[in-house]
Structure 1
């Protein structure tokens, strides 16, 4: 029983580190603040709630239906791991280099989002691609596709926890930026990028070993 618990705990830790690094909710705080700059506190809370719920639903669909998608399209888990590893590595590499900073943080302040149109901001860019982008979907599917229902439940529970953490970070966004500053946030983003790059290499290596039966 202890060994089973340790295996599940180790798996949950791995999933949390992988998904948290690729979601990187801290780096999404400036985007959320700028999108909701003209909204009052209840409206910001509403957008934060909708964005994390939509993101969770997206990941849930792909995690639960992963095996079905593999069967319909004839995809193997090894191929997914190779592709996902490359994708995750590229995302992490770009985060470390910082060349996608302007792309991930567009000048939304020039055209502020109106409160009555906030649902569109909750869907994109907050839910997709910031919280449930291609890298997150691929990683969640890779973790859940080859496991039993308990491992699938762990993946869903871990991502739900990350969504809740993201929700709290969004609501406390102004305080966080004032306390740690933009430079520290940049350092955190680069550290997350390094972790992502390592995870990508590991996924790629596992996929290659499975493809060629090494």
Structure 2
């Protein structure tokens, strides 16, 4: 039971840092600027629902994907760790990650799908993090990861719904500081994945 609680806390922290609903809230505000509240809410619901489905599919099919492409767990952990560390490092430097950055957005397109659901909410970093959490774990832990990301989707929905009010009260400077803290956490998680992957590769710990 204690192991499950520790695992759940680790997963929640990882997802919260990588999805960073407070930082992504500013993206939502900029993309939906000028739209009425009803349209914003529809986009909000659709984006978070699609993101949840995408991550859930990768979580459930993670082991199958490993087998299909003959991907070893150590290689995945090391590569995923490097990617996640890179995202966190860019956030620490107050840069928008090239993995998640959207340079051009056509407002006429369905922004709920792209760029909000992909890659803002369910980008490569989020998918890699989710698949890393379910690599070589029990069925209970797999469904726990799905449930926690579902909770994150709800938190993101609430944050986006209150985005205008939050930005007005908190201010962009505080949001920027929170983004840096999340970047540090992401970089640490990435480093941990790399270390764990190296240990697995050289049989320093059991898989």
Say whether the fold is shared (TM-score over 0.5). yes
Of 140, 163, 178, 1:173 maps to: 163
* CA distances 1:140-185 after superposition (whole Å, capped 9, x unpaired): 0011121111000110000000000000000100010011100000
SS in 2 for 1:145: coil
Corresponding residue for residue 159 of structure 1: 149
Corresponding residue for residue 101 of structure 2: 104
1:121-200 mapped onto 2 (5 Å cutoff): 121-200=111-190
Corresponding residue for residue 9 of structure 1: 5
| Structure 1 residue 101, shift from structure 2 partner | 7.1
Counterparts of 1:32 and 1:160, CA distance in 2: 19
8 Å CA contact retained: 1:87, 1:200: yes
Runs of 4+ in 1 over 3 A off after TM superposition: 101-108
Corresponding residue for residue 32 of structure 1: 28
8 Å CA contact retained: 1:48, 1:170: yes
SS in 1 for 2:179: helix
Comparing 26-35 and 160-169, the one that deviates more: 26-35
Comparing 137-146 and 160-169, the one that deviates more: 137-146
Stretches of structure 1 that go unaligned for 5 or more consecutive residues are none
Structure number with higher helix proportion: 1
1:66-81 mapped onto 2 (5 Å cutoff): 66-81=62-77
SS in 2 for 1:104: coil
| Structure 1 residue 99, shift from structure 2 partner | 2.5
RMSD after superposition: 1.7
SS in 1 for 2:71: coil
1:77-88 mapped onto 2 (5 Å cutoff): 77-88=73-84
Counterparts of 2:64 and 2:83, CA distance in 1: 22
Counterparts of 1:176 and 1:107, CA distance in 2: 25
The count of residues paired between Structure 1 and Structure 2 equals 203
Counterparts of 1:106 and 1:71, CA distance in 2: 35
| Structure 1 residue 100, shift from structure 2 partner | 2.3
* CA distances 1:43-88 after superposition (whole Å, capped 9, x unpaired): 1110000000110111011100001001111111111100011011
* CA distances 1:17-53 after superposition (whole Å, capped 9, x unpaired): 0111011111111111121112211111100000001
Counterparts of 1:206 and 1:40, CA distance in 2: 47
